[in-house]
A = this chain, B = another copy of it.
Amino acid sequence: MKLGELAAAAECSVATVKYYVREGLLPPGTPVTATQADYDEHHLARLRMIRVLREVGNLAIADIGRVVEALENDTISLNAKLASAFYALPPRAPADEPSPEAVLEQIRAFAVRHGWQIAPDAPSVALLAHTVQAARRLWGPVGPEIFDRYADAFDALARGDVEVIADAPDAADVVRQVVVGTVLWDVALVALRRMAAEHYATQRWEPDSR
């Protein structure tokens, strides 16, 4: 398809497509004439992924670049591709104030206790440690057990999420689906949690107003 058709199919402007090509996020099309190039389904799938990362996830161009790099690296296994793409997604714990090793160890033990086998240096470990550190400054000696209820719920939910993706046709498709699903659901679950919280908070503090 032509550049204009690609943009229309992804519901964005031609200028936006050109910008992503310039930034190296989208491969250039195959030249057809001196002024025209041809784009295919791979371009469209990539473009749709980029749009979700930008417009729903607010990802920086550099972070999307890291996802694209993992997607295009054909020298590594599917699992290594997945990990690289997945680990490129924000939020991350601030690099300039790492949590003490003892807290990181507590988080790793927490993961094991919930039956999760994850890399000891996964960014999620540092991120949860960062929130535990903040919780300690507020409430004294608490540990990751304050998140037990949420961990149990997410265990069941994540198991189901993987089943949905399991039938994806190829490796690139698996990686794209995991990345896009992660970013979309990150935002959706904040919205869902706010809805539930508003309902129960309103009931709790002003029950007669409803």
Contact = CB atoms under 8 A, between A and B. Distances in A.
A74 B134 CA distance: 29
Copies in the complex: 2
Q: Size class of A's contact patch? A: 35 or more
A180 B134 CA distance: 10
Interface string A188-210: 11111111111111111110011
B193 A128 contact: no
Given A52-B138, A58-B91, A118 B198 contact: yes
A174 B206 CA distance: 13
A184 B134 contact: yes
9 contacts: A56-B131, A58-B91, A91-B190, A117-B199, A124-B198, A150-B188, A155-B196, A158-B197, A186-B190
The 4 A-B pairs with the shortest beta carbon distances in the complex, nearest first, are: A158-B196, A124-B194, A128-B191, A116-B199
